[in-house]
Structure 1
Amino acid sequence: MTAHSRNTPQFYLTAPSPCPYLKGQSERKVFTHLVGDNAPQLNDLLTHGGFRRSQTIAYRPACETCRACVSVRVRVEDFQWTKAFRRNRAANADLIGAESAPIPTSEQYSLFRAYLDSRHSDGGMADMTVLDYATMVEDSHVRTRLVEYRRRGAESAITGRGAGPLQAVALVDRLSDGLSLVYSFYDPEQAERGLGTHVILDHVARCRAEGLPFLYLGYWVEGSPKMDYKRRFRPQEHLGSGGWEIRED
């Protein structure tokens, strides 16, 4: 058997399985492992090529009869702060997003569990245990961080951190030209706040503050109501056969 270096990616193809986004469709994925000393550079390169990260796996759709999944990234410098987005920022001005190392906590998992049970009870992640969650957060060989959102407290001006119950969490990868939102979740009982939108808007602002031109949002799936929200964050680029192209509509 030929031995391969941990720094040389090997690509594999999954067997067909039911598509979680489009009824009646099946999906296949091509994937590789993100391990070894070159994992951050490989994650960077593959994300630019339309891959997403899940723990130590980078994957992208490789469906035989469907091309509905399209990689999306937001152009930060020209981002359009609509009235709705400004209202969202104002409504959540009492929140502080504090960065930390990707270390899971029981409080995070409680919020994660409540979010799944409320929003994605029939999804592929519905049965995730506390150990599964810990693996999702910790198992990374790339530049990953957590952002925890809490309300401002009496000492927030000094500590830079919020206080009180956890409101939302984002797991984020740092790339050479942007941030990639790997996964985010929030308190489902705070629907009026639009916390999912707030997390994205906050990361647009973080990209701008760090001088990063793009925020990677993963896949937009035409025909899937679950993914339609991504179209609102403009201008955005979609990855097509000719590379990254601005989306006009």
Structure 2
Amino acid sequence: MEREARSRPRRRVTVRRLAEHPQFYLTASSPCPYLPGRSERKVFTHLVGSRAGPLNDLLTQGGFRRSQNIAYRPACEGCRACVSVRVIVDDFVWTRSLRRVWRAHAGLERRERPALPSSEQYSVFRAYLDTRHADGGMADMTVLDYAMMVEDTHVTTRLFEYREPGGRARGRLVACALSDVLSDGLSMVYSFYEPDGEAASLGTYMILDHIGRARQMGLPYVYLGYWVEGSEKMAYKTRFQPQERLGAKGWVRT
């Protein structure tokens, strides 16, 4: 759900070594995408090989996010604004506004698929970027970049497609969510939707659907990535309560 971390280490290492002894690297400083006037740095490592799944579990529980075969987390000097949040599935509280969003999209059909890209998905993705993030770090992503974002994964990743009813034929694709299946929850890596979906709260609907899907799977959490106090882009995450936030004392319920 956040921007992709594109930095890569220059040293060449084998897949086996990375899997058994993960090495961590620090990116160069760059402008913060959430808080004006601040800069950001990230610490990151590779997720490859047979141990990528357990490592992704451990790192996600420790506040990391995944982008392709990279796990990263903020490592900004003098700033701790980015806070990892996860929704507590069994205790989730439905507000009136959230129920309205759910009812508004009750007719959508969710299709859970392997992490495989399609031109139809890219069309929605491209329209989403052009409308919502035209000046963002992902604005120049090509169809090949999109394909890598989806399929470059060594962990259990699913693609959730949301379509209008189509009977025997496939209905129109209106939204997608790329999500990892962890031992303790679903981690929403990135989601996007048709440009008119913002007014219709399709982003909110996909989170609600993930909460329901996690409950069906017996998973206690839905990981939403980072909440940043003072950032309007991240304010929506406070709607999903109760949740836990990761701090110096571990995960604390709010």
Unaligned runs of 5+ in 2: 1-10
TM-score (norm 2): 0.92
3-state SS of 1:60 partner: strand
Q: Aligned partners of 1:78 and 1:181: how far apart in 2? A: 19
Determine the structure 1 residue equivalent to 2:6: none
Q: Aligned partners of 1:62 and 1:137: how far apart in 2? A: 25
Determine the structure 1 residue equivalent to 2:211: 204
What is the CA deviation profile of residues 88-137 of structure 1, one whole-angstrom value per residue up to 9, with x for unaligned ones?
Answer: 11100110110011110001001000000111111111111111000000
Unaligned runs of 5+ in 1: 156-161
How many residues align structurally?
241
Determine the structure 2 residue equivalent to 1:236: 243
Percent of matched pairs sharing the same residue: 66
TM-score (norm 1): 0.94
Determine the structure 2 residue equivalent to 1:102: 115
Deviation of 1:164 (Å):
2.0
Against the structure 1 CA distance between its residues 81 and 36, is the aligned structure 2 distance closer, same or farther, given a 3 Å change threshold?
Answer: same
Against the structure 1 CA distance between its residues 115 and 64, is the aligned structure 2 distance closer, same or farther, given a 3 Å change threshold?
Answer: same
Deviation of 1:189 (Å):
2.0
3-state SS of 1:154 partner: coil
Q: Aligned partners of 1:190 and 1:36: how far apart in 2? A: 37
Q: 2:34 aligned with 1:9, yes or no?
A: no
Deviation of 1:191 (Å):
3.5
Give runs of ≥4 in structure 1 deviating > 4 Å. 1-4
3-state SS of 1:110 partner: helix
Counterpart pick for 1:47 among 60, 81, 85? 60
3-state SS of 1:193 partner: coil
3-state SS of 1:163 partner: coil
Q: Aligned partners of 1:130 and 1:3: how far apart in 2? A: 28
3-state SS of 2:183 partner: coil
Q: Aligned partners of 2:187 and 2:239: how far apart in 1? A: 17
Determine the structure 1 residue equivalent to 2:180: 173
What is the 5 A alignment of 1:143-162? Answer: 143-155=156-168
Q: Aligned partners of 1:11 and 1:2: how far apart in 2? A: 14
